[in-house]
Structure 1
C-alpha cells in the first residue's frame, strides 16, 4: 500500500545540475534553491536525507553550511548523506539499467535506516543527464521511474528532481508517463504540495492544447476520429500516450501535430515547474 506523499516529482526552472566530466564544473545551486530548502526543512523536522543530485559534493556541503546548517554534524551522525551523482549513476558501468540503479538505492536506504535516529528517510535524486541524450536512454528513464514507483513500498519518501532544461528534451508521451509514475507533484504554483489533480487533469490539458492549436470544431473532429477510427478514447491518452502521439500525427500531419504536442507539453510543464 502506497502513501499519498511518498513518491514525488519536483521540477525547477534552474540550469541543469548534471554534466559530463569533460565540462567545467558548475558552482552549484543558489542558496535559496528549492532543493536546498527541502533539505533544510526535513533535517529540521528530524528526517534523514539522502541527496544525489549534484556532482560537486564539496560545494553542496559549503552551500548548506552557508544556510546555517550543521552539515558536518548531520553527516557524521548519518542523518545527511550526500553522494556524487556521476559516481552513483556511472552510465558507462550501469548502462542506466533500472535494476542496477534501484538495487543501489535500496542498499543506501538500508544502510541509512540502520541508524534509526530519525522519523523517516527522504531520498532526493535527479536522473543523470545521460538519460536525456538519446531516444533509447529516454525510454530507459521512463522505465526506471515506472519501476521505481512499482517497487516503492512507502517506507521512505522520494523526491525525483528534474530541471526544466532536462524536461524540455522529452517528448510529450514520456512527460505524461513520468507525471503519472509519481503520486505527488511538488510545485510552487500551489500552497498544497499534493497536486494529484495534475495527473487527473492530463486529458483536460490535452483537450485544451488541441483547441488552442486547432480551434474548437477541428479539435472535436480530431478526438472523434481518434475514438471511432483508431479506438483511442480519452483514457488511452494517459495509458498509452505514444499511441496517441502516433495517430495524432497521422490525422493532422507531422508539422501541425508537433505544434499541438508542444502546446500540450508546455501546459503540463506550467503545472509542475518551479519558477
Structure 2
C-alpha cells in the first residue's frame, strides 16, 4: 500500500454555514471529477453534502448521483467521522469502525482512494491538539487492507492556518508528504524545507547571518539542533523566544510569513 498525505491551504476563510459552501470546495470539485474519471474512489467528508452535489453538477454537467450509486464517490458527514466520546483511543476506534465498513465496499474496485476533508470540520478541541487532524489519518490506513494507493488531502483555509503558532505550524507540516498549489501542482514536502524557511525568516528579520548565530546558540545552550526543531517544535519555539528576547515576536512573525507563503495554494 502506498500512502500520501497532502496539504491544501486556500486563500480566504471557510464558513461552517450550510448556506455557504466553503470557498475551498470550488477548487476541489474539478479535481474530484478528474479523480473519478480516472477510476479513483473519492471519499469526501463534508457537512454540505447536498450543496456539494449541486455545485459539482452545475460545474461539470455530469450525473454525480451515478458516481455515488457506484460507490466511486462517497460523501460522509464529519459528525460520523470526527466524533469524540472520550479519549483519543476510543475516538479513533469509532472513526475506524465508521469508515472501514464503507471503504471495504469500495477499495476492491479501485486502484487509488482519495480522502478529502476540511480541518474546519474537526472538533474545536481536536484542532488544538499537537498532532491535530492527522491523528485519524495515521490510524485509518493501518486498519485497511488495500494494495493500491491512498491519498489523504487535508484542506485549510488561510485564516485557520494562520491562527497556528510557530510550534504547531511546524508540527502540522511535519506530517505531510506534499503541498498542493495552483493548477493542482504537487510540491514535495520534507523537514529540510522548514529549516530553510526558518533561516530565511531569521535573516530577513534580523539581518544576514543571524540564522547561523541563533542556530548555534540554540544548539550550545539548549541542545536544540535541526532534528529537535522538527521533533520538538513547541520546545524549539519556547527556546527561540528566550534567545531572541524582545525581538522574538517580529522574528517569529517573519518566519511564519515565509512558511505561509511557501505552502499557500497560490504559491504554485
TM-score (norm. length: structure 2): 0.83
Any idea what the Cα deviations from partners look like across 1:102-129, whole Å, max 9, x if unmatched?
A: 4434343223325x2x332211112245
**RMSD of aligned alpha carbons:** 2.8
| Aligned equivalent of 1:138, options 128, 131, 135 | 128
Deviation at 1:48, TM superposition (A): 1.3
- Does residue 273 (structure 1) correspond to residue 267 (structure 2)? The answer is no
User: Is 2:137–2:152's contact at 8 Å kept on the other side of the alignment?
Assistant: no
User: Is 1:123–1:157's contact at 8 Å kept on the other side of the alignment?
Assistant: yes
- Does residue 152 (structure 1) correspond to residue 141 (structure 2)? The answer is yes
Any idea what the Cα deviations from partners look like across 1:1-51, whole Å, max 9, x if unmatched?
A: 745xx221122113214x2xxxx5333146983211221110111111111
For the residue of structure 2 that corresponds to 1:139, the secondary structure is coil
For the residue of structure 1 that corresponds to 2:186, the secondary structure is coil
- Does residue 181 (structure 1) correspond to residue 175 (structure 2)? The answer is yes
User: Is 2:24–2:157's contact at 8 Å kept on the other side of the alignment?
Assistant: no
| Aligned equivalent of 2:32, options 36, 39, 56 | 39
Deviation at 1:155, TM superposition (A): 4.1
For the residue of structure 1 that corresponds to 2:168, the secondary structure is helix
Deviation at 1:193, TM superposition (A): 1.0
TM-score (norm. length: structure 1): 0.81
Which residue matches 2:145? none
Q: Which runs of 5+ in 1 are unaligned?
A: none
Runs of 4+ in 1 over 3 A off after TM superposition: 29-32, 93-108, 128-131, 149-155, 217-220
Deviation at 1:69, TM superposition (A): 2.2
Which residue matches 2:220? 228
* Alignment coverage as a number of residue pairs: 258
Distance between the aligned counterparts of 2:208 and 2:111, measured in 1?
51
Q: Which runs of 5+ in 2 are unaligned?
A: 143-147
| Aligned equivalent of 1:111, options 105, 108, 118 | 105
